[in-house]
Amino acid sequence: MSLRERLQIALKEAMKAKEAERLSTLRLINAAIKDREIAGRGEAGDQEVGDPEILAIMGKMVKQRQESARAYEEGGRLELAEKELNEIRVIEEFLPRQLSEAEVEAAVKAAIAEVGASSIRDMGRVMAVLKGRHTGQMDFGAVGPRVKDMLA
């Protein structure tokens, strides 16, 4: 079952169960996917957004909400921070399990070995392999410097 189908099923279940907050978050996810599809229409015809792209969209949504929650907490708006954290929990239901530090380290080493990377110039190829295999499972913003250190 595709990620899009899982989202649609969850949306219907949330409607039936009258779970307003969950329904709102699922609708936000669907809106973000539709926005990406509309933005891509002119480029490559009417292609649907695939699972890897949906994972990337949802990963970005989680990051945005983490930043918002942090800002709300610093501003003393705990009820808004809690709302953001609840949205994160709903989004994360559809994301794959995050890799542990050891698993990230092993994945980076495997990607470096696979592309035969020997210098910082090969970083793009290493990151491409990691993004192809581990989209949604690791924070590429944090992995980038780690790859850079290993190649330096």
- The predicted-structure confidence for 74-128, as pLDDT tens digits, reads as follows 999 999 999 999 999 999 899 888 888 888 888 888 888 888 888 888 888 989 8
- Percent pLDDT > 90 in the chain is 39
Out of 1.10.3470, 3.40.630, 1.10.10, 1.10.287, the CATH code matching 101-151 is 1.10.10
Query: Is 1.10.1510.10 the CATH classification of the domain at 3-92?
Result: yes
What letter represents residue 48's amino acid?
Answer: E
pLDDT of residue 65: 94
Domain ranges of the chain: 3-92, 101-151
Burial (CB count <10 Å: 0-12, 13-18, 19+), residue 122: middle
Q: Where is average pLDDT lowest: 53-62, 120-129, 135-144?
A: 135-144
